[in-house]
């Protein structure tokens, strides 16, 4: 996909100035979306948020840029773990926290990239898209956060002999762009993946802060989250059986929310309210996305071997 630039006309008698148009595969997260994200509480991720915030504070501190440059520390972080574990929400709330804590100016922007659009079938265009992406974000735009979800789509290990040459070239361009990022560029890049084992080791090395996101809720945290999902403050409710099913099936926090949503729909169809009993039944009947991901990974490997 080819991307053009728009022309910003100068005042009368002044030459027109070119101003690059935001690439079509790049999206600025809207204030409304961020406001909704900020209203949500992250359950079971308090320690991960604390670690990630400390890294962001290090990278965004203007007084430590010389130190970061001397040690070749880039403002890049990789969040990995099973689906529905809160990786994307954590990255977005990190951005909000950085703005509220005055680590970022009020004009700072959060972007996400659509890899399905960035990857172009035309020879060499995907690599040019990657170059354009970082040229746009590292220009004179002030501080920015970039979230790259499903990073494994463009950074598959080079040990995979079946990978398309175009994807390999795109990955090479991506690594070169990461190498050029410094704290002074005011750009923080956060990669997200469910399948870190598929990502090339050279790409993983370029993310200086790597954090596994796979929260395990204690009974207390689980009960608090269930009360939130059931929209009740009733402390007399007991969730021990539900918690046991949650742990036994290997559900993630996001799984629990999805299970509760489907349980609510089923209860509504029968004219009922969502109850603890309904939630327990759903947890016992459904499969976790962790199990589904394992099945998908096994199917992928079988296809590669065929």
State how far the Cα of 79 lies from the Cα of 148, in Å rounded to an integer: 10
Going 9 to 13 to 14 to 18, the CA torsion angle's sign is positive
pLDDT band at 9 (very low <50, low <70, confident <90, very high): very low
Question: What's 112's DSSP letter?
Answer: E
Measuring CA to CA, which residue among 291, 281, 244 is closest to residue 259? 281
How many CA atoms does the CB half-sphere of 234 hold within 13 Å?
Answer: 11
Parallel, antiparallel or unpaired: strands 144-148 and 187-193: parallel
CB contact at 8 A, 82 and 115: no
Going 283 to 286 to 291 to 297, the CA torsion angle's sign is negative
Task: Give percent of the chain above pLDDT 70.
Answer: 83
The reported pLDDT for the residue numbered 15 is 47
Q: What is the enclosing helix (H) or strand (E) of 17?
A: strand 17-19
**Domain 6-212, CATH number (from 3.40.630.30, 2.70.70.10, 3.40.50.300, 2.60.40.730):** 3.40.50.300
The reported pLDDT for the residue numbered 250 is 85
State how far the Cα of 276 lies from the Cα of 17, in Å rounded to an integer: 62
Give rounded-to-5 percent helix, strand, coil for the chain: 50, 10, 35
Residue 5 pLDDT exceeds 50 = no
Q: Which is more confident, 211 or 254? A: 211
Which of 2-11, 16-25, 238-247 is predicted with the least confidence, judged by mean pLDDT?
A: 2-11
Largest CA distance in the chain: 76
Report, as an integer, the average pLDDT of 209-216.
92
The reported pLDDT for the residue numbered 19 is 54
Helix axis angle, 276-285 to 219-230, nearest 10°: 110
Ordered DSSP codes for 130-179 = HHHHHHHHTSSS-SEEEEE-SGGGT-B-TT-TTS-HHHHHHHHHHHHHHH
Residue 246 pLDDT exceeds 60 = yes
- CB atoms < 10 A from the CB of 120, how many? 17
State how far the Cα of 206 lies from the Cα of 73, in Å rounded to an integer: 9
Residue 6 pLDDT exceeds 80 = no
């Amino acid at each position: 996909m080819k991307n053009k630039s728009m022309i910003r006309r100068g005042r009368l008698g002044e030459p027109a100035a070119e101003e690059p148009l935001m690439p079509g595969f790049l999206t600025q997260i809207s204030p409304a979306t961020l406001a909704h994200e900020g209203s949500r509480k992250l359950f079971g991720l308090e320690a991960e948020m604390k670690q990630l915030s400390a890294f962001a504070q290090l990278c965004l501190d203007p007084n430590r840029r010389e130190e970061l440059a001397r040690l070749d520390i880039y403002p890049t972080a990789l969040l990995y773990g099973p689906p529905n574990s809160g990786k994307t929400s954590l990255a977005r709330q990190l951005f909000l926290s950085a703005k509220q804590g005055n680590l970022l100016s009020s004009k700072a922007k959060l972007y996400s990239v659509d890899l399905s659009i960035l990857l172009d079938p035309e020879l060499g265009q995907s690599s040019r898209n990657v170059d354009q992406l970082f040229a746009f974000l590292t220009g004179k735009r002030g501080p920015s956060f970039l979230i790259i979800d499903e990073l494994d789509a463009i950074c598959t290990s080079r040990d995979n002999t079946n990978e398309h040459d175009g994807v390999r070239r795109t990955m090479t361009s991506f690594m070169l762009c990461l190498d050029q990022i410094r704290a002074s560029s005011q750009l923080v890049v956060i990669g997200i993946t469910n399948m870190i084992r598929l990502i090339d080791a050279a790409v993983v090395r370029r993310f200086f802060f790597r954090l596994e996101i796979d929260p395990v809720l204690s009974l207390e945290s689980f009960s608090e989250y269930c009360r939130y999902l059931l929209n009740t403050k009733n402390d007399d409710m007991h969730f021990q059986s539900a918690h046991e099913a949650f742990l036994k099936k290997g559900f993630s926090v996001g799984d629990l929310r999805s299970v509760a949503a489907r349980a609510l729909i089923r209860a509504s169809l029968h004219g009922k309210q969502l109850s603890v009993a309904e939630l327990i039944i759903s947890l016992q009947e459904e499969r976790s996305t962790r199990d589904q991901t394992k099945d998908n990974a096994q199917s992928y490997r079988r296809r590669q071997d065929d």
